[in-house]
Amino acid sequence: MIEINLTDQNFEQFIQNSEKPVLVDFWAEWCMPCFALGPILEKVAQEYTEKITLAKVNLDVAPQISQKYKIERIPTVILFKGGKPIIGFIGVRPESLVKEFLDEALKKVSEAEIPENIEEIIKNYQTYAEENGFKLNPDRETVERLLKGLLANEKKYGARYCPCRRVSGNREEDKPKICPCQWHKEEIERDGHCFCGLFVKNSY
């Protein structure tokens, strides 16, 4: 596993620019509990590699950052997203409790990523569906997950490309994948739902 060591000089830039949430382990060479927790965090981080990035901050190397986030006891672990601390814990925890913490923390991150105008976006898609003889998926959780994928693509590529289709980066090639995509009506008629499941038949 690649270990990312952050300092006063690179900490802010790293956590602000990271596409994934960053789990930061604040530790020190003289802290024995830190050496007990470190391998547990590394093992869990490998299992959650698609969801988080693990970074370490040695208090003696990064005193300014440690002071900024009021790190008074170690080990302290904090999950950051978009440069902001979301939630954390102090002390050694077994693997099962670290995973429990991460699941809850990532849920908070997911909820925080839901845009303020989510209701307006959903309403627009509902109106579109009704006007075309089908409906929006009645599962709210599925709809929000897909919308976050659409908005993430909009932020990254400049358009709301279907999150379930590969985006090449070529605007002309990708144009048919902008939601509602070129194939959604045919898929709804044939399969009862579009490829990603955002739209479904009225009888679905």
Catalytic residues: 31, 34
Which residue pairs, CB below 8 angstroms and at least 24 apart, start in 180-183? 180/128
Q: What SS3 state is found at 166?
A: coil
**H or E segment at 106?**
helix 95-112
- Confirm if 75 and 40 have CB atoms less than 8 A apart: no
- Confirm if 15 and 79 have CB atoms less than 8 A apart: no
Return the structure tokens found at 63.
Answer: 């005193």
Helix %, strand %, coil % of the chain (to 5): 45, 15, 35
Q: How many CB atoms lie within 10 A of CB 146?
A: 23
b/e per residue 94-124 (b: at least 16 CB within 10 A): eeeebbebbeebbeebeeeeeeeeeeebeee
Q: Where are the beta strands (DSSP E) in the chain?
A: 4-6, 22-27, 53-58, 76-81, 84-90, 135-136, 199-200
